Amino acid sequence: MTPFTRVVSVAAPLPETDIDTDIIFPARFLLLLDRRGLGAHLFHERRRDGVGARFVLDRPPFDRAQILVAGRNFGCGSSREHAVWALADFGVRVVVAPSFGEIFYANCFRNGVLPVRLEAAPHGRIMTAAETGAPIEIDLGSQTVRLPDGEDIPFEIEPGRRRDLMLGRDEIDAILADDIGDIRDYESRRRATRAWLDPRLK
Amino acid sequence: MPALTLYDKIWSDHVVKPYSDGAALLYIDRHLVQEVSSPQAFAGLDARGVKTRRPEAHLAVADHAVPTKDRDRPLPDSLAARQVRRLVENARDHAIAYIPMRDARHGIVHVIGPELGFTLPGATIVCGDSHTCTHGAFGALAFGIGSSECECVLATQTLKQRKQKRMRVLLEGQPAAGVGVKDMILALIARIGVGGGVGYAIEYAGGAIANLSMEARMTLCNMSIEAGSRVGLVAPDETTFAWLAGRPMAPAGADWEAAMAYWKTLPTDPDAVFDREVSLNVGALAPRVTWGTTPEDNLPIDGVVPDPDREPDPDRRARMQRSLRYMGLKPGARLNEVPIDRVFIGSCTNGRLEDLRQAAAILVGRRVAPNVAAIVVPGSATVRLQAEAEGLDRVFRAAGFEWRDSGCSMCVAMNDDRLQSGERCASTSNRNFEGRQGPNGRTHLMSPAMAAAAAISGKLADVRALESRRSMA
Ligand code: SF4
């Protein structure tokens, strides 16, 4: 995984609440077997609905945005990791929102995407700044969003997740390297006390 | 000993080790594998050159993309067929049990897990599918995960997780005739919102729970994720044990006794404290339908489409406006006059035997309105066969429904079962998101009885009116 330290980019404003993963990545494209190349179907319906102005990610300069600023509860709904794969494939490395769907939030970290959770007021200032099309800086080391006018907005993130993102560390490799002994011990303890939990398909 | 909740007990029983940052390595007892979220997980595993750690802890079935008719014919060559084939190959290469499409045990992961007794109280259960919370109905700690997490479970049988906060939802009172558990969960989601459960594991408790069947509890827990909650739980009781006894993969003999002794220790201690408590008087509820594009957009059937201009919150107002435009509805329109084109009865929310019985009870001696095309998709082959043994298929067919084979079908529109653009559907599934049942399709969520009432009426309809007319006849 590419280590994440700092991103400077225009930020695409998507001031809508409850953007679910069906909107981010419609179900019919879930038939694809690969995790690469999914950016083509990101927000598929929104980018082709022909209603009103073109979708923000198709309008320069936002078509090259590495930051997406969305409304609350972004990524709610289905667990499909394709939503994150599609965002990452499109080039989005940061999503800023007041809150996220929980499974989406967890999926981000496994794909080098940083979800930034912020209160309504600072989130509103970032949304306003994003709309100007001026670049915004996100620095994971100092946990700040720097707006074009120089204002620094701090954000919170779980320390373990921050470290893993900054190192580009793969969690599965880490567990396989460090924790297999503990897993084995747990399994043998469990076999002794709760043998009935061992599944068998007859 | 501090007083513990059901969630605390299962959690601490599965902690392999705590990490310094507050997360824990959690042992996963069981993993359901489906065709959509697993190919990338197996590919990742193969790229690492790692084998599945405990093949017997996983069970694979293709449910999302499979056709629900003409199953005796070979799958036409398509992306869906390729995805099913990939699952078969991966299961074979990793020595994981696979249930084929034509097997009598086939069905939606969240329907067959419980049917087989793969789902057990006190177990941790995951699946690359957000409705894994369904299994919480048995007092299992069950939650949906992404594909990378599936890969982690295959490789290590564990997941690094952070403990959630605890919410208790007390359901009190007894529902009136025509009101079911779907109405309860829709009412809860309307109350706390689609983000109201984010960060919480919900335990459903209160006087109304004892009378709920396992099927109803599954419907309840299933929609926890629509309130944002990855976990929904009901403490195991005699109803749970009676339902599980004798299931193919449930413990038997001395193992059953040992399991029962453990399961009886699981319910929340009387003094346990929750981070949030919500209570809902289910006795006051009317049957509900959704009007918008998130599950919280729901109202009693005798209500009217709400007016965004009267919504004070600007974000919410904007979303309502967008929803109503998408749904083709005008503020003030009466919900029970909205005409429909399609009816879908099925899904992991309402595709079980009891759901089909409730819908069929409304349909006896009645016909689907001429403007409506209606299908029933049993949640599993077991449900289908039981329903046929009871003659429910004949009731549905006589009313003008199509009777299909098991799968997700029009809940997610990944096979050929989908809405055409602009079509409006009365659906027993769980998500009314934009495009969920097909691009530009319009979904109204409701209970199976309400979907049957809509089918007959050709519009959204109050099942209570139909029932009372029948009892007068
Ligand atoms: S029935 Fe619908 S919600 Fe349930 S698993 Fe299938 S697609 Fe998901």
For residue A11, the domain's CATH number is: 3.20.19.10
Whether residues A121 and A181 share a domain: the answer is: no
- Closest-CA distance of chain B to residue A45, Å: 7
Whether residues A109 and A194 fall in one domain: no
A23: closest CA of chain B, how far (Å): 7
CB contact under 8 Å between A33 and B83, yes or no, is yes
DSSP B256-278: HHHHHHHHTT-SPPTT---SEEE
pLDDT band at B241 (very low <50, low <70, confident <90, very high): very high
- Shortest Cα distance, chain A CAs vs residue B47, angstroms: 12
Question: For testing the chain B interface, which of A38, A42, A73, A76 should be mutated: the one with the most B CBs within 10 Å?
Answer: A76
Pick the more confident residue, B38 or B467.
B38
Using CA atoms, how far residue B220 sits from B64, B122, B234, B394, B441, in Å, is: 21, 18, 9, 28, 25
Residues A163 and A175 in one domain: no
Residue B102 exposed, middle or buried by CB count within 10 Å (0-12, 13-18, 19+) = exposed
Q: Which two tokens stand for residue A51?
A: 């209603």
Which chain B residues touch A110 with a CB distance below 8 Å?
A: 146, 148-149
Q: Which of residues 388-447 of B touch A (CB under 8 A)?
A: 412-414, 431, 433-436, 439-440
CA-nearest residue for atom 4, ligand 1, is: B348
* Stretch 116-155 of chain A: residues touching chain B, C-beta under 8 Å: none
Residue B233 contacts A where some CB pair is shorter than 8 Å: no
- Say if strands B30-33 and B124-127 run parallel, antiparallel, or are unpaired: parallel
Reduced to 3 states (helix: H, G, I; strand: E, B; else coil), residue B279 is strand
Record: contact B160-A171, CB cut-off 8 A: yes
pLDDT in tens, B83-138: 999 999 999 999 999 999 999 999 999 999 999 999 999 999 999 999 999 999 99
**pLDDT (tens digit, 9 = 90+) per residue, A31-47?**
999 899 999 999 999 98
Q: Do the domain assignments include residue A107?
A: yes
**Two tokens, residue B396:** 């549905």
| Gap from A143 CA to chain B (nearest CA, Å) | 17
Q: Residue B75 — pLDDT band, cuts 50, 70, 90? A: confident
pLDDT of A48:
76
pLDDT recorded at residue B471: 45
Q: Which tens digit of pLDDT belongs to each residue from A166-199?
A: 999 999 999 999 999 999 999 999 999 898 988 7
- Which residues in chain A are contacts of B21 at CB distance < 8 A? 158-161, 163
Q: Does A171 touch chain B (CB under 8 A)?
A: yes
Q: For B400-405, what is the mean pLDDT?
A: 97
> Can you give the pLDDT at residue B468?
52
A150 and A113 co-located in one domain: yes
Q: Looking at residue A1, what is its pLDDT? A: 81
Domain for residue A87, yes or no?
yes
CB atoms within 10 A of CB B96: 23
Measured in Å, residue B91 CA sits from the centre of ligand 1 at 21
Query: Nearest CB to A79: which of B146, B199, B414?
Result: B146
Ligand 1, pocket-test mutation among B133, B221, B415, B430, most atoms within 8 A of CB: B430
Residues A140 and A59 in one domain: yes
ipTM of the complex: 0.95
Is B294 in the A-facing interface, judged by CB distances under 8 Å? yes
The residue nearest atom 6 of ligand 1, judged by CA position, is B408
Would you say residue B269 has pLDDT above 60?
Answer: yes
Contact assessment for residue A43 and residue A98, using Cβ atoms and an 8 Å cutoff: no
Position in ligand 1 atom list of the atom nearest CA B63: 6
Q: What is the pLDDT of residue A198?
A: 82
Tell whether A183 is covered by a domain.
yes
Look at residue A30 and tell me if it is in a domain: yes
Q: Could you give the number of structural domains in chain A?
A: 2
CB-nearest partner of B433 from A23, A110, A199: A23
Per-residue pLDDT, B71: 83
Report the share of chain B in percent with pLDDT over 90: 95
The predicted model gives B324-345 an average pLDDT of 98
> At a CB cut-off of 8 Å and minimum separation 6, what does B245 contact?
B256
CA B222/CA B350 separation, integer angstroms: 9
B34 CA: nearest ligand 1 atom: 5
The preferred substitution site among B33, B35, B63 for testing ligand 1, maximizing ligand atoms within 8 Å of CB, is B63
Closest CA to B206 of B244, B167, B242, B241: B167
Using CA atoms, how far apart are residues A96 and A136, in angstroms rounded to an integer? 12
Asked if A164 and A192 sit in the same domain, the reply is no
Which atom belonging to ligand 1 lies closest to the Cα atom of B346? 1
Flag whether pLDDT at A49 surpasses 70. Answer: no
Count Cβ atoms within 10 A of the Cβ of residue B67 and give its class: 0-12 exposed, 13-18 middle, 19 or more buried: buried
Return the residue in A20, A21, A24, A31 with the most chain B beta carbons within 10 A, the one to mutate for interface testing: A31
Does one domain contain both A127 and A194? no
Helix A102-109 × helix A82-90 angle, to 10°: 50
A14 located within any domain: yes
Same domain for A53 and A127: yes
Q: In this structure, is the dihedral angle defined by the CA atoms of residues B467, B470, B471 and B472, taken in order, positive or negative?
A: positive
User: Is residue A1 domain-resident?
Assistant: no
Q: Which residue has the tokens 């050159």?
A: B49
How do residues B184-204 score in pLDDT, each as one tens digit?
999 999 999 999 999 999 999
Strand B288-290 vs strand B200-205: parallel, antiparallel, or unpaired?
Answer: unpaired
Q: Which residue has the tokens 């289905």?
A: A78
Residues of B in contact with A172 (CB under 8 A): 44, 48, 50, 148, 151-152, 155-156
CA distance B279 to B168: 8
Q: Are A78 and A21 in contact (CB under 8 A)?
A: yes
HSE toward the beta carbon, residue B239, CA cutoff 13 A: 16
Residue A152 belongs to some domain of the structure: yes
**A141 and A105 fall within a common domain:** yes
Who has greater pLDDT, A66 or A2?
A66
Task: Give the per-residue pLDDT at B164.
Answer: 97
Residue whose token pair is 């190959």:
B89
B225 C-alpha to center of ligand 1: Å?
12
- As a 3-state breakdown, chain A gives helix, strand, coil percent values, each rounded to 5, of 45, 15, 40
Q: Who lines ligand 1 at CB under 6 A?
A: B 63-64, 108, 110, 129, 131, 347-348, 408, 411-412, 429-430
Same domain, A193 and A103: no
Band (pLDDT 50/70/90 cuts) for residue B470 is very low
Task: Enter the tokens of residue B261.
Answer: 């002794």
- Return the bridge partners of B76, or none: none
Rounded to the nearest integer, the mean pLDDT of chain A is 94
Chain B, residues 129-158, CB within 8 A of chain A, namely 129-130, 144-149, 151-152, 155-158
| CB contact at 8 A, A31 and B79 | yes
* Cis bond before residue A61 (omega within 30° of 0): yes
Q: Are residues A132 and A177 in the same domain?
A: no
Assigned token pair, A132: 């100007």
Instruction: Give the model confidence (pLDDT) of A85-125 as tens digits.
Output: 999 999 999 999 999 999 999 999 999 999 999 999 999 99
A63 lies in the same domain as A33: yes
CB contact under 8 A, B435 and A23: yes
Question: Which residues of B are less than 8 Å from A22 in CB distance?
Answer: 431, 433-436
- How far is the alpha carbon of A16 from chain B, nearest alpha carbon, in Å? 7
Residue A123 in domain: yes
**pTM of structure:** 0.96
Cβ pair B199, A101 in contact under 8 A: no
The closest alpha carbon to B59, from B120, B18, B1, belongs to: B120
Q: Which residue of A has its CA nearest to B116?
A: A201
Pairwise CA distance, residues B400 & B394, whole Å: 10
Q: What residues of B are in contact with residue A80 (Cβ under 8 Å)? A: 36-37, 146
Q: Which domain holds residue A183?
A: 170-202
**pLDDT at position B473 over 80:** no
Residue B192: count of CB within 10 angstroms of its CB: 20
